[in-house]
């Protein structure tokens, strides 16, 4: 959440903007309130959106009410930089879905999840929705929850007691937080951060299947190394083992207990990175083969087969289904 643009504002809306210009206006509001993002409205002529924001430095909480849309955090937006954050979202009305690291999290009312601003993600809302959004700098959150680094999103069930407590705290803070003295806001945000880290830790432990805290941290370190080196065609289990100072056997065991082999996880991340670049290319000059090669696929035909196995359609067909004008440069698959 940026300081300069919103230092004197706490409510932003599309109400005064003519429908034909609301898409661009909404995109500017979202970027100013949170971080570089790309928004795509699904019903341009009927869209309305509103953001209410309370913040203290780089930490902030917002209530978003808006119509159907897709929100993307592309690698291009990540390169633009705006600080590293975790974004925790509580679905307060309607439904939504979030994709990051090949994981899809479907949110019903009351559910909470998170995304990492340093990795591409996508949010989709097919109908009008409302969300409470809590953005915390990574260095702040890691003081309480180091193992979250590199972790894929997990869902906190809105029916669980602790999740309900977090949701109620978010709503209360949004309702009366503007009356708090500026000096107290860091303490209040710190209390909310502690609640969220406690709930995530409990949820992660409940699905970890005998993975101890050191093993969790080793797994996340390996995933972070992989994500940082996805473009390297030479990336393989041996490189990960050496880069993380973890034995190959132990590394294989870490990923096996996490539910997917190391090689499969690397391929899944590369495919997801390529898909996100295809989506953000939006008819640009890059070809599908160039995108595939950039993300470590030495053979375009192998990329096409892998993409179809993962997404049920070829890269070219996937692009055409979304109405993008440029899918050239690669073979037709």
Give the pTM: 0.70
List, for residues 168-213, the tens digit of each pLDDT value.
999 998 988 888 787 788 888 989 998 898 888 777 665 544 445 6
Cβ contact 86:210 at 8 Å: no
Cβ contact 268:260 at 8 Å: yes
- CATH class of residue range 11-206: mainly beta
Cβ contact 166:90 at 8 Å: yes
List, for residues 130-179, the tens digit of each pLDDT value.
999 999 998 888 877 766 776 778 899 999 998 999 999 999 989 888 88
**CATH superfamily, with its number, for domain 213-321:** Homeodomain-like (1.10.10.60)
By the 10 Å C-beta count (0-12 exposed, 13-18 middle, 19+ buried), 160 is classed as middle
List, for residues 262-321, the tens digit of each pLDDT value.
999 899 888 888 887 887 765 667 899 999 999 999 899 999 999 999 888 899 988 887
Cβ contact 92:42 at 8 Å: no
Domain boundaries, the chain: 11-206, 213-321
């Amino acid at each position: 959440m940026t300081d300069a643009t919103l230092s004197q504002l706490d409510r932003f809306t599309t109400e005064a903007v003519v429908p034909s210009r609301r898409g661009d206006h909404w995109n500017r509001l979202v970027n100013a309130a949170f971080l570089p993002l790309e928004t795509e409205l699904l019903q341009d002529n009927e869209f309305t959106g509103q953001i209410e924001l309370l913040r203290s430095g780089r930490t902030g909480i917002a209530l978003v009410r808006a119509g159907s849309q897709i929100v993307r955090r592309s690698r291009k937006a990540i390169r633009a930089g705006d600080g590293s954050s975790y974004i925790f979202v509580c679905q307060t009305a309607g439904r939504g879905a979030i994709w990051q690291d090949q994981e899809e999290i479907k949110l019903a009312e009351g559910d909470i999840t998170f995304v990492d601003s340093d990795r591409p993600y996508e949010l989709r809302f097919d109908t009008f929705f409302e969300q409470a959004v809590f953005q915390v700098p990574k260095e702040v959150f890691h003081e309480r929850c180091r193992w979250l680094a590199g972790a894929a999103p997990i869902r906190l069930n809105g029916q669980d007691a602790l999740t309900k407590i977090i949701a109620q705290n978010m709503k209360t803070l949004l309702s009366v937080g503007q009356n708090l003295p500026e000096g107290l806001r860091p303490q209040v945000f710190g209390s909310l951060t502690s609640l969220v880290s406690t709930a995530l830790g409990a949820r992660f432990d409940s699905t970890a299947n005998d993975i101890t805290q050191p093993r969790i941290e080793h797994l996340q370190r390996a995933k972070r190394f992989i994500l940082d080196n996805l473009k390297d065609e030479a990336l393989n289990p041996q490189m990960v083992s050496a880069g993380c100072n973890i034995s190959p056997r132990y590394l294989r065991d870490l990923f096996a207990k996490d539910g997917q082999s190391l090689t499969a996880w690397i391929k899944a991340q590369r495919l997801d990175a390529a898909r996100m670049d295809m989506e953000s290319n939006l008819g640009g000059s890059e070809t599908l083969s160039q995108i595939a090669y950039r993300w470590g696929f030495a053979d375009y035909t192998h990329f096409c087969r892998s993409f179809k196995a993962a997404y049920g359609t070829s890269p070219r067909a996937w692009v055409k289904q979304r109405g993008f004008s440029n899918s050239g440069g690669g073979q037709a698959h």
